[in-house]
Amino acid sequence: MSEVFKGSFTQQEPIPEDGIAAAVEVMRHGRLHRYNLADGEPGETALLEQEFAALTGADYALAVASGGYAMATALRAVGVQPGDAVLSNAFTLAPVPGAIASVGARPVFVGVTGDLTIDLDDLEAKADQARVLLLSHMRGHICDMDRLMAICDAAGVTVIEDCAHTMGATWRGVPSGRHGLVGCYSCQTYKHVNSGEGGLLVSDDAGVMARAVLLSGSYMLYERHLAAPPPDAFEQVKYDTPNISGRMDNLRAAILRPQLARLSEQCAAWTARYRVVEDGLRGTPGLTVIERPEEEGFVGSSIQVLLRDWPDAAMEEVIGRCAARGVELKWFGAPEPRGFTSRYAHWHYAPSAAMPETDRVLRGLLDMRLPLTFSLGDCAQIARIIRAEVGAVHQAGVGG
């Protein structure tokens, strides 16, 4: 009888006990709002920002309500105006073009390569069309950041990094989010630290971060931050920067701080699971494993494979056969958006020209989460199931 996987692809690890204790303490004293502090109390949110700045090596950090809010705030803080064009990946999730649209700007999509990174040749060709790039390290795949920054610096393009899937990752030893002017991170349940919702920004630019703090809803209480620019940076912008409230609260920050202290260990655990699945799938007929470059210190919290040039019916058959055996695969080539999964052609508020090579990649792309609730044995079983079902469809002559 064929084995069936019994685990859940959406069940995350419990919040650590010290995070629970810290959250309970906040609830006991009731000072959830980040600026509601007792005398001499720094507050959980300010401490989280200070610790995240130290972790990433950034001068400044800001905690906000979500990763999407972080990106929209970064766009506003660097001066993006309604009607402006903003370069971004065609392969990403909806909050990225959504952040651009939320400030009234217009996405200009850049293609994806077979390695699932932004197409740097296409970026170079389009770099004169906008003055900002919102770069999505989609599903944890980091491009050649040295070449990307060279292209953008030469064209005068400001880079904002969406690191929702790369908190804890690096390129040539530099933390993700530290190549561009601003790095944005998510603390949503399926990301590398979990507060249900939440986001973080980092930057070394005092003016940009002063605007971000004011945008987040600091009123004139910015001196209560521990990882913000000095007061004189706010003097220049406080009368002209609107309050678009999106602060993080002390309860979520209390939950996050112990997780942040364990981030390196958690990232290693994800990547160990990734390697087990990768090894189990390598050599499967018709299936392409994405090779990771040596320069990339990636975090394997999800895995992607390609069934290159397989017809839609064969893709659906593989997904259905794996689902019947308990393995949930997401498909970026589906004609209609499903769950969290959509692609650039689905975002009618952000019209774009067709990109045949990008469409070819996305049509064959399968995506799977790897929560830390999976054991290494679970990962080996999942790989066996995918290998068997892809092989069955391929052997029947239905696949590519």
| pLDDT on residue 50 | 98
Kindly state the tokens that stand for 36: 């509601």
β-strand partners of 297: 170
Q: What is the mean pLDDT of residues 54-78?
A: 98
| pLDDT on residue 236 | 86
Q: Could you read off the pLDDT of 111-157 as tens digits, one per residue? A: 999 999 999 999 999 999 999 999 999 999 999 999 999 999 999 99
Domain check: are 342 and 219 in the same one? no
Domain check: are 244 and 322 in the same one? no
Residue 231 resides in a domain: yes
Residue 376 has pLDDT above 80, yes or no: yes
CATH number of the domain where residue 305 is located: 3.90.1150.10
Band (pLDDT 50/70/90 cuts) for residue 397 is confident
User: Of 261, 290, 314, which marks where a domain is finished?
Assistant: 261
d(CA 367, CA 341): 9
Q: What is the mean pLDDT of residues 373-394?
A: 97
What total of structural domains would you count in the chain?
2
Domain check: are 227 and 299 in the same one? no
Residue 396 has pLDDT above 90, yes or no: no
The residue segments making up the domain with residue 153 are 17-261
CATH number of the domain where residue 240 is located: 3.40.640.10
- Phi/psi at 246 (nearest 5 deg)? -160, 40
Domain check: are 58 and 184 in the same one? yes
Residue 12 resides in a domain: no
Domain check: are 381 and 253 in the same one? no
| pLDDT on residue 400 | 61
Domain check: are 196 and 337 in the same one? no
Question: What percentage of the chain reaches a pLDDT higher than 70?
Answer: 99
Residue 316 has pLDDT above 60, yes or no: yes
CA 293 to chain CA centroid, nearest Å? 19
CB 14 within 8 A of CB 376: no
Among 190, 178, 196, 224, residue whose Cα is nearest residue 49: 224
Q: Could you read off the pLDDT of 185-239 as tens digits, one per residue? A: 999 999 999 999 999 999 999 999 999 999 999 999 999 999 999 999 999 899 9
Domain check: are 241 and 276 in the same one? no
How many degrees, rounded to 5, is the angle at CA 86 between CA 83 and CA 92?
130
| pLDDT on residue 399 | 65
Domain check: are 257 and 384 in the same one? no
d(CA 193, CA 202): 16
Question: How much is the pTM?
Answer: 0.97
Domain check: are 315 and 170 in the same one? no
User: Of 237, 261, 285, which marks where a domain is finished?
Assistant: 261
Residue 14 has pLDDT above 90, yes or no: yes
Domain check: are 21 and 99 in the same one? yes
| HEC per residue, 251-274 | HHHHHHHHHHHCHHHHHHHHHHHH
CB 395 within 8 A of CB 361: no
Residue 341 has pLDDT above 60, yes or no: yes
Average pLDDT, the chain: 96
Cα-trace Rg, the chain: 22
CB within 8 Å of 153: residues ≥ 6 apart: none
d(CA 48, CA 133): 27
User: Of 202, 232, 261, which marks where a domain is finished?
Assistant: 261
Helix runs in 30-110, H state only: 44-56, 67-77, 95-102
Q: What is the mean pLDDT of residues 363-383?
A: 98
Residue 400 resides in a domain: no
Residue 398 has pLDDT above 80, yes or no: no
